[in-house]
């Protein structure tokens, strides 16, 4: 492994002697010689330039393509995919390319790079394919690495600058998104409050007050709505207290302690078990109290909704109106017309 590191370091130095320090610390330089023995994390877009040639078979490689001379072929060989780096494995994509000039601009895809994760480095990264290229030629990576020569550099590109108008627009968009998010959160909280037992009481009480407004015969009933709402407030305080206490109780731990002391042969095991039994009974009582409180809130909410239904003006409406029925009146008029026609007919015959 040490020999492999030395050979690959020599390769990088031969490719670009002035960028050895950049290969050691990518973060401190915008241009560097990317190592071919390990993935290199990058912060954003990167520009890859250059080409390497292998004395093993005469093949040439740039960042993304190779002109393969293995086996040796006559004539000009067209480039094909499969260069020194695998963009997809590093969480990168090609945004600009010049295969003839051996220049490629890569940008992050936003997805986690497979090779980055396997190497334990941040994504995106430059994922080299030196092992694959060596295996295609049935030689070791170290043996293939020493056959490469040429120049290959990577330039970390700065993030694009935004104009003042763009920054202002982005600020407005961020503010709008924040307002929309705050509004959605507020609506979700309101829905949650309305769906709670006390929220149901509050909504039912408001509807009951509207239904009884202006009805002097139900003045005392309106006062009772306030009493019901006050009682619901007391039950809501009890519900919150019981829910908070119940959240602090650990039934599994309590059951485990009771089982441990039940099987213990210690002289005072019975005393500890008796105390745990009392604690368990009180814990069960908290759950019972909580259920009773919720039942009380549901009872009040249901009673208020029933009050609205019962106080409606149309309650008790029947098919036949009391007193003069317009249907019967209409039928009577038709009967009178028929009688008048019959009388006229008899008069004409006589």
Q: Which residues pair with 41 in a beta bridge?
A: 125
Q: Residues 172-194: pLDDT tens digits?
A: 888 888 888 888 887 878 787 77
Q: Could you tell me if 10 and 143 lie in one domain?
A: yes
211 shares a domain with 135: no
Question: What is the mean pLDDT of the segment spanning 257-284?
Answer: 92
Report the C-alpha gap between 51 and 48 in whole angstroms: 10
**268: three-class secondary structure by DSSP:** coil
User: What Å distances lie between residue 66 and 52, 58, 70, 271, 298, CA to CA?
Assistant: 9, 11, 11, 82, 75
In the predicted structure, residue 28 carries a pLDDT above the cut 70: no
128, 84 Cβ separation under 8 angstroms: yes
Better-scored residue on pLDDT, 1 or 164: 164
Whether residues 39 and 144 share a domain: the answer is yes
User: 215 and 276, same structural domain?
Assistant: yes
Please tell me the least confidently modeled range out of 43-52, 101-110, 143-152, 185-194. Answer: 185-194
Q: For residue 3, what pLDDT is reported?
A: 44
Query: Tell me, what's the pLDDT at 206?
Result: 92
Residue in the block written with tokens 């992050």:
108
Flag whether 226 is in a domain: yes
Same domain, yes or no, for 24 and 108? Answer: yes
Judgement on whether residues 48 and 138 belong to the same structural domain of the protein: yes
Please determine, for residue 12, whether its predicted confidence score (pLDDT) is greater than 60.
no
37 in helix, strand or coil?
coil
E-strand stretches of the chain: 31-32, 40-41, 46-54, 60-61, 65-67, 80-81, 92-98, 103-108, 125-126, 148-156
Give the separation between CA 12 and CA 20, rounded to whole angstroms: 7
| Percent of the chain with pLDDT strictly greater than 70 | 88
CA 188 to chain centre: 15
- pLDDT class for 213, splitting at 50, 70, 90? confident
Q: Among 58-67, 169-178, 295-304, which is the least confidently predicted range?
A: 169-178
In a domain, 338, yes or no: no
Last residue of a domain, one of 109, 132, 156: 156
Q: How many domains does the chain have?
A: 2
* Domain end call among 140, 156, 172: 156
Residue 183 covered by a domain: no
Range of the domain at 215: 193-310
Mean pLDDT of 264-279: 92
What tokens appear for 288 in the block?
């019972």
In a domain, 344, yes or no: no
pTM assigned to the model:
0.45
**285 part of a folded domain:** yes
Q: What's the pLDDT at 162? A: 66
CB of 11 within 8 A of CB of 61? no
Q: Helix (H, G, I), strand (E, B), or coil: what is residue 46?
A: strand
Contacts 24+ apart (CB under 8 A), 301-307: 301/197, 301/200, 301/201, 301/203, 301/204, 301/232, 302/204, 303/228, 304/201, 304/204, 304/205, 304/207, 304/208, 304/225, 304/228, 305/204, 305/207, 305/208, 307/208, 307/211, 307/212, 307/221, 307/225
Q: Residue 5 pLDDT > 60, yes or no? A: no
Longest dimension (CA), the chain: 140
**Residues 138, 263: one domain?**
no
Task: Indicate whether 64 belongs to any domain.
Answer: yes
Tokens 């170290």 sit on residue? 142
Check residue 288 and give its pLDDT. Answer: 95
Q: What is the pLDDT of residue 142?
A: 92
Residue 48 DSSP code? E
Q: Mind listing the pLDDT tens digit for each residue in 329-339?
A: 899 899 999 88
Instruction: Check whether residue 119 and residue 259 sit in a common domain.
Output: no
What are the helix and strand counts (H, E) for the chain? 11, 10
Mean pLDDT of 70-98: 83
Of 120 and 314, the structure prediction assigns the larger pLDDT to: 120
The answer to whether residues 31 and 137 belong to one domain is yes
- Same domain? For 294 and 201 the reply is yes
Is 341 part of a structural domain of the chain?
no
Q: Which pLDDT does position 334 carry in this prediction?
A: 93
When mean pLDDT is compared across 83-87, 157-161, 310-314, the lowest value belongs to 157-161
Residues 126, 154 contacting (CB under 8 angstroms): yes
pLDDT, position 283: 92
**Residue 222 confidence (pLDDT):** 86
First to last CA, the chain: 136
Q: Tell me the pLDDT band of 74, cut-offs 50, 70 and 90.
A: low
**Shared domain check, 130 and 203:** no
Cβ proximity of 30 and 142 under 8 Å = no
φ, ψ at 77 (rounded to 5°): -100, 130
Contact 179, 96 (CB under 8 A): no
The DSSP 8-state label assigned to residue 264 in this structure reads: -
**High-pLDDT (> 90) share of the chain, %:** 52
Residues 152 and 19 in one domain: yes
How far is residue 57's CA from residue 77's CA, in Å, rounded to a whole number? 13
The CA–CA distances, whole Å, from 214 to 211, 229, 241 equal: 9, 20, 38
The structure tokens listed for 292 are: 């009773």
What is the C-alpha to C-alpha distance for residues 210 and 305, in angstroms, rounded to an integer?
Answer: 12
In a domain, 8, yes or no: yes
Quote the CA–CA distance of 110 and 38 in Å, as a whole number: 21
If you ran DSSP here, which 8-state letter would residue 63 be given?
A: S
Q: Which of 180, 297, 303 is nearest to 243 (CA)?
A: 297
């Amino acid at each position: 492994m040490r020999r492999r590191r030395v050979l690959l370091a020599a390769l990088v130095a031969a490719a670009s002697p002035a960028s050895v320090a950049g290969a050691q610390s990518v973060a401190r330089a915008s241009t560097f010689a990317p190592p071919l023995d390990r993935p290199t994390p990058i912060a954003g877009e990167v520009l890859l330039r250059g080409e390497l040639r292998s004395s093993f078979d005469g093949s040439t490689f740039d960042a993304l393509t190779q002109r393969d001379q293995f086996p040796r072929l006559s004539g000009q060989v067209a480039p094909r995919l499969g260069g020194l780096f695998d963009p997809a494995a590093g969480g990168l994509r090609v945004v600009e390319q010049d295969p003839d000039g051996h220049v490629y601009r890569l940008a992050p895809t936003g997805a986690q790079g497979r090779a980055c994760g396997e190497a334990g480095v941040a994504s995106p990264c430059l994922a080299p394919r030196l092992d694959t290229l060596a295996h295609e030629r049935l030689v070791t990576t170290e043996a293939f690495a020493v056959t490469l020569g040429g120049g290959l550099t990577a330039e970390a590109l700065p993030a694009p600058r935004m104009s003042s108008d763009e920054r202002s627009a982005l600020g407005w968009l961020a503010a709008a998104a924040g307002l929309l998010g705050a509004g959605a959160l507020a609506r979700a909280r309101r829905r949650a409050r309305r769906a709670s037992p006390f929220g149901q009481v509050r909504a039912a009480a408001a509807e009951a007050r509207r239904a009884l407004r202006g009805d002097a015969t139900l003045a005392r009933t309106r006062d009772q709505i306030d009493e019901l709402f006050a009682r619901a407030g007391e039950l809501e305080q009890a519900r919150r207290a019981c829910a908070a206490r119940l959240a602090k109780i650990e039934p599994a731990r309590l059951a485990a302690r009771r089982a441990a002391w039940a099987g213990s042969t210690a002289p005072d095991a019975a005393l500890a078990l008796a105390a745990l039994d009392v604690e368990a009974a009180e814990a069960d009582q908290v759950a019972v109290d909580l259920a009773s409180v919720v039942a009380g809130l549901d009872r009040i909410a249901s009673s208020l909704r029933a009050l609205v239904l019962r106080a409606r003006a149309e309650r008790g409406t029947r098919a036949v109106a009391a007193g003069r029925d317009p249907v019967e009146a209409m039928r009577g008029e038709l009967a009178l017309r028929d009688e008048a026609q019959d009388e006229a007919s008899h008069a004409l015959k006589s």
